[in-house]
């Protein structure tokens, strides 16, 4: 049976690179009807924090990854010591004492050629004569990364190691330890580096942000998964939108691209918008309620959910991120809109008192305040005034919302309501 593992270190949050590695491991396990193992590599007692463990577990669950087994390296120190002692007794390792008298166990690296058949990159050759002797157990009693990895992967029967290509340099060191301990070598697949749009390594500025932060910014997990999936793999036929369920049936680790890929936030925004367009408004409203409450836009115990759903439906096809709703729709919740000074200067600098008063009057006289009737009243007015619709549409939008862009004007007026719309229009009539 195929068994893969994702092995994050809880010295920080789960970031985009780790998220993609987890995805490709989980996806491969699903496609092969195998097992997905989660191993928390918390041997660094100083830097490993419970809050990072909690964040990693939460982020993986949010992405939809359910693990079959969970291990903590901090609970396995006796296993590492046992295998290190085994190498000592066989003469393949030796003890080195520090000036303070503390002992470290070192593996003596033999000179040989190492060949690894990488499932993505093909055959990779290494010369072990260029590798210095490897510390197995440090003088403080903790295992080194490479040694603990080998022991764990062997004892957990990991068949495939799928990880970032920054670990390629660790592969020959681990291969030597596998051989020394008499363990079979698993198959390796090294995923390409994720670059920023500036051509450099991914940074916070170019997207190296915690997975949990993407959720807070208003990205849907389905959209983020879809985007991460396309960082090194493609379903074919130039498709960009694909559900994770469908991807399971198409995924082959050997088809992963080996060249570096670019993480583009604009592309992620586009993809998130595609998912927001078809998302369930009820679920989006549930996500928005605590955010709206935090800005004092609503009282969660006393607000009109049906009205909120109408606003969600009005905006969801336009939003790059769900959280943009807070800024784009703020004028619905505020007593007075926050005015964009540039928009006021451009569209309300001229005296439009006559036109705004007339439109407010037409709205007031509507017995059936519907989108169709609102548009009819507007079209009739501009025809009577002999002006182009755009000459009045933009000033009306700015007067009502303080913004130059947004949903359709007539739908906007309907949702804003007759009384509030008239009051805001008349405020700009001298």
Q: Among all residues, which ones are annotated catalytic?
A: 204
- Beta partners for 210? 15
Closest C-alpha among 337, 307, 332, 346 to residue 424: 337
Rounded to 5 degrees, what are φ and ψ at 105?
-105, 125
- Beta partners for 190? 163
Q: What is the dihedral angle through the alpha carbons of 215, 219, 224, 225, rounded to the nearest 10 degrees?
A: 70
Tokens found for residue 127: 């010369």
The CA–CA distances, whole Å, from 156 to 150, 184, 337 equal: 10, 12, 60
Helix (H) or strand (E) holding 1: none
> CA quadruple 269, 271, 272, 274: dihedral positive or negative?
positive
Rounded to 5 degrees, what are φ and ψ at 329?
-110, 15
Strands 187-191 and 160-164: parallel
Please give the Cα distance from 191 to 180 (Å, whole number).
Answer: 27
């Amino acid at each position: 049976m195929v068994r893969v593992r994702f092995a994050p270190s809880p010295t920080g949050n789960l970031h985009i690179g780790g998220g993609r590695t987890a995805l490709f491991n989980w996806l491969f396990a699903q496609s092969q009807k195998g097992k997905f193992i989660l191993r928390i590599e918390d041997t660094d007692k100083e830097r490993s924090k419970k809050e990072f463990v909690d964040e990693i577990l939460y982020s993986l669950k949010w992405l939809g990854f359910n693990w079959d087994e969970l291990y903590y390296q901090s609970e396995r120190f006796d296993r590492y010591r046992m295998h290190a002692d085994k190498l000592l007794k066989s003469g393949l390792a030796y003890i080195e004492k520090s000036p303070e008298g503390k002992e470290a166990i070192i593996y003596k690296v033999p000179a040989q050629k190492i060949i690894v058949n990488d499932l993505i990159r093909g055959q990779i050759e290494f010369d072990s004569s260029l590798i210095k002797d490897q510390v197995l157990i440090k003088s403080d009693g903790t295992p080194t990364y490479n040694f603990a990895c080998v022991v764990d992967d062997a004892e957990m029967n990991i068949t495939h190691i799928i990880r970032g290509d920054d670990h390629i340099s660790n592969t020959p060191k681990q291969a030597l330890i596998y051989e020394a301990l008499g363990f079979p070598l698993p198959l390796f697949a090294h995923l390409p580096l994720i670059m920023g749009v500036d051509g450099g390594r991914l940074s916070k500025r170019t997207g190296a942000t915690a997975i949990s932060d993407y959720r807070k910014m208003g990205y849907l997990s389905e959209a983020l998964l879809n985007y991460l999936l396309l960082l090194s793999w493609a379903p074919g036929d130039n498709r960009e939108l694909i559900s994770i369920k469908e991807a399971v049936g198409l995924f082959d680790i050997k088809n992963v691209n080996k060249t570096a890929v670019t993480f583009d936030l604009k592309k992620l925004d586009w993809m998130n918008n595609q998912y927001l367009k078809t998302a369930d408004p009820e679920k989006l409203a549930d996500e928005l309620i605590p955010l709206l409450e935090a800005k004092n836009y609503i009282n969660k115990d006393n607000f009109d959910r049906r009205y909120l759903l109408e606003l969600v439906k009005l905006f969801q096809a336009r939003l790059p991120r769900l959280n943009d709703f807070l800024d784009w729709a703020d004028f619905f919740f505020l007593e007075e809109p926050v005015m964009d000074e540039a928009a006021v200067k451009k569209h309300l600098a001229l005296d439009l008192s006559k036109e705004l008063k007339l439109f407010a009057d037409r709205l007031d006289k509507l017995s059936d305040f519907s989108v169709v009737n609102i548009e009819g009243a507007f079209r009739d007015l501009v025809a009577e005034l002999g002006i182009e619709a755009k000459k009045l549409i933009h000033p009306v939008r700015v007067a009502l919302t303080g913004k130059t862009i947004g949903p359709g004007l007539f739908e906007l007026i309907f949702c804003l309501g007759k009384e509030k719309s008239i009051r805001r229009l008349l405020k700009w009539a001298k």
